[in-house]
Every structure is written in C-alpha cells, then in structure tokens.
C-alpha cells in the first residue's frame, strides 16, 4: 500500500472499490452478521479450551 497518498486520494480509491461491489440487501447483511457471530463464538471457545 502506498502510504504517501492523501486522504482525498484514499477516499477516491475506496469509493471506486465500493462501486465495483454488487449491492447488498439488508437481509443478506443480517445473515452474514449472524454467520460471523456464530463462527467467532466457535473460534473463541476453541482458543480458550486450548
């Protein structure tokens, strides 16, 4: 990553990346959050038991 770019240039690059992504519905976002929450809890239990 080029750390010598300005905040404005970083914002433009991020906007470009977001414009390339497909739109996400609220339902899909909630499902993804639940999946991540479930997987995170499982991983935390594995780490604690080791």
Tell me: the pLDDT tens digits for 6-39? 999 999 999 999 999 998 899 999 999 999 998 8
Q: How far apart are CA 34 and CA 41, in angstroms?
A: 11
Instruction: Copy the structure tokens of residue 48.
Output: 């604690």
| pTM of the entire predicted model | 0.44
CA 28 vs. chain centroid, Å, equals: 13
Instruction: Copy the structure tokens of residue 37.
Output: 């929450």
């Amino acid at each position: 990553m080029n750390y010598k770019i300005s905040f404005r240039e970083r914002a433009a690059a991020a906007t470009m990346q977001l414009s390339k992504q497909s739109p996400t519905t609220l339902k899909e976002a909630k499902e993804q959050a639940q999946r991540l929450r479930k997987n995170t809890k499982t991983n935390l239990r594995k780490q604690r038991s080791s």
